[in-house]
Structures are given as structure tokens and as C-alpha cells.
């Protein structure tokens, strides 16, 4: 009789959490892998206004140009000469075919053209310049 009582207590005491933890872990991995990581420029610029501005497909690489000519990529300032190398590194991490330039409306045209030339030399053909709708 004592033997049956002990067996009943062991049966009620254990709940196996392993399958639930496995599912939660697999879902976590799924969401991490499917998340799109965007490399933003990291600064705010006053974009020029355009009446014909259209929404373009999103890109993974953003380059910001400040009014004084400073170029920012991936939340840090870079030299214009290093833009192509930084884009090549970013493409190796996450392939993309589009780069968006966020130039301030007071930025010099020459700096924007140099950045566009560096982007083309890195192998990117699709370059978009960000603007706000009027």
C-alpha cells in the first residue's frame, strides 16, 4: 500500500518545461534572422522640399551630408575618401543595390557629387537623394 502512495506523489510533482523553452528559443532565432538591419546615417538633416518627390523602396545604407560638408555613415563621421571603402564593408555585411543620400538643403553640390562618385566606385548603381514632399 505504501508503494502506490509514493508513486502517485512523484507523478504529480514534475512538469516538463523543455518543449516550451525550445519553441521560444526557435522563435527568437527566427525573429533575429528575419529582421532587416538598417545602417542609418545617424544625424538629422533639413532635406530640400520637392513637389514630385516619390516614395522609393527602402535601402539599407544611408549617407548624410551636413551643411558644412561633413559626411556621416553608420552613426559616425567619415572622410569623403573613405566612403567607398565603408560602402563595400556594409555591402559585405548585408548586400543591397540602393544607397540613399540625405543631403542637407544647404550642403554644397560638389560634396554631394563626390559622395555619389564614391558610391558608384563601390559598385552601387542605384542612388537616391532624399527629399521631403511639399
Residue 4 has pLDDT above 70, yes or no: no
Q: What is the pLDDT of residue 117?
A: 94
Q: What is the pLDDT of residue 57?
A: 62
- Per-residue pLDDT tens digits for 47-74: 777 777 777 666 778 899 999 999 998 8
Contact yes or no for 119/81 (Cβ under 8 A): no
Q: Which cell is 127 given?
A: 542612388
Report the percentage of the chain scoring pLDDT > 90: 34
Helix intervals (H) in the chain: 2-13, 18-34, 83-93, 109-121
pLDDT band at 32 (very low <50, low <70, confident <90, very high): confident
Decide: pTM greater than 0.75. Answer: no
CA distance 10 to 130: 67
Amino acid at each position: 500500500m505504501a508503494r502506490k502512495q509514493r508513486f502517485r506523489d512523484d507523478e504529480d510533482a514534475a512538469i516538463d518545461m523543455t518543449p516550451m523553452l525550445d519553441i521560444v528559443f526557435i522563435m527568437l532565432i527566427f525573429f533575429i534572422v528575419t529582421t532587416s538591419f538598417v545602417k542609418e546615417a545617424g544625424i538629422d538633416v533639413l532635406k530640400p522640399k520637392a513637389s514630385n518627390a516619390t516614395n522609393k523602396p527602402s535601402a539599407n545604407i544611408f549617407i548624410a551630408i551636413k551643411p558644412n560638408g561633413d559626411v556621416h555613415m553608420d552613426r559616425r563621421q567619415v572622410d569623403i575618401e573613405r566612403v567607398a571603402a565603408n560602402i563595400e564593408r556594409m555591402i559585405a555585411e548585408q548586400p543591397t543595390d540602393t544607397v540613399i543620400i540625405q543631403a542637407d538643403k544647404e550642403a554644397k553640390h560638389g560634396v554631394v557629387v563626390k559622395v555619389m562618385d564614391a558610391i558608384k566606385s563601390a559598385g552601387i548603381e542605384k542612388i537616391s537623394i532624399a527629399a521631403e514632399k511639399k
